[in-house]
Amino acid sequence: MRMAELSAESGVPVATVKYYLREGLLPPGERTSPNQARYSAAHVQRLRLIKALTEVGGLPLASVGVVLSAIDDHETPHRTMGVVQQELAGTPPKVSDEAAEWASGLMADLVRRRGWKEHPPAHRTIGNLVAALATAKELGQEKLIERLEEYAELAMRVAELDVEVVVGLTSVDKIIETGLIASVLGDRIFAGLRHLAQEQVSREVLGR
């Protein structure tokens, strides 16, 4: 297909498609003349993926570039998803040393008790968790912290569903792409469902 059709199919404006081509986020099409190129269904899918990462996932374009490079490097799914998760996690917010130390201990205990893989403190998912727990502590939200183990248990149940979406896929590229999409969209979907559910439960429990 030509550029105009690629834009229409993906819902991404021509100027933006050209920008992505220049930035290397989208691989070049097959050149058919000095001024024209032909694009494939893979280009449409890549554009939709970029759109999902930026618009639904809220990822800055620089992070999208890192994520797409990780995919294109054709490493193992496990390694690629590691890079992807780090990028999705962003930069953990700063908290006071004292609160961070306390929260790090809490996380280390949880990871050990559950037999999860241990990560260095610089791991961004751990960093985000530590920052959120430290903030909860500083705000006096002990009850939230006390339920960490129960949240972790439910997170395992959700993760089991998450991983099911890639089970049965045979192409490594497909596993990685699906894992990425499920991760980005899955967080948004679950947060939305949780808010609707909170409304429901709070009406039942608090009666207002």
Site for a second copy, residues 8 to 27, rule: CB under 8 A: 11
Among 85, 104, 106, 108, binds a second copy (CB under 8 A): 85
Check binding of 38 to a second copy (CB under 8 A): no
Least distance between a second copy and beta carbon 34 (Å): 33
Could you tell me which stretch among 17-25, 27-35, 62-70, 171-179 binds a second copy (CB under 8 A)? Answer: 171-179
Within the chain, what is the greatest distance between any pair of CA atoms? Answer: 69
Contact status: 165 vs a second copy (CB under 8 A): yes
Among 60, 5, 56, 50, residue whose Cα is nearest residue 25: 50
Binding positions for a second copy, 110-139, rule CB under 8 A: 111, 114-117, 125-126, 128-129, 131-133, 135-136, 138-139
Residues making up the chain, counted from first to last: 208
Q: What is the spatial distance between Cα 19 and Cα 69, in angstroms, rounded to a whole number?
A: 17
CA dist 66 and 55 (Å) reads 17
Q: Which of 3, 37, 83, 89 binds a second copy (CB under 8 A)?
A: 89
**Which one of 96, 101, 113, 121 is in contact with a second copy (CB under 8 A)?**
96
Nearer to a second copy, 23 or 149 (CB): 149
Residue type at position 67: V
**If you ran DSSP here, which 8-state letter would residue 74 be given?**
T
Degrees to nearest 5, angle at CA 68 with 178 and 54: 80
Smallest gap from residue 35 Cβ to a second copy (A)? 29
201 binds a second copy (CB under 8 A): yes
Q: Give the residue with the Cβ less far from a second copy, 61 or 158.
A: 158
Of 3, 81, 79, 82, nearest to 44 by C-alpha is 3
> How large is the C-alpha radius of gyration of the chain?
21
Contact between 94 and a second copy by CB under 8 A: the answer reads yes
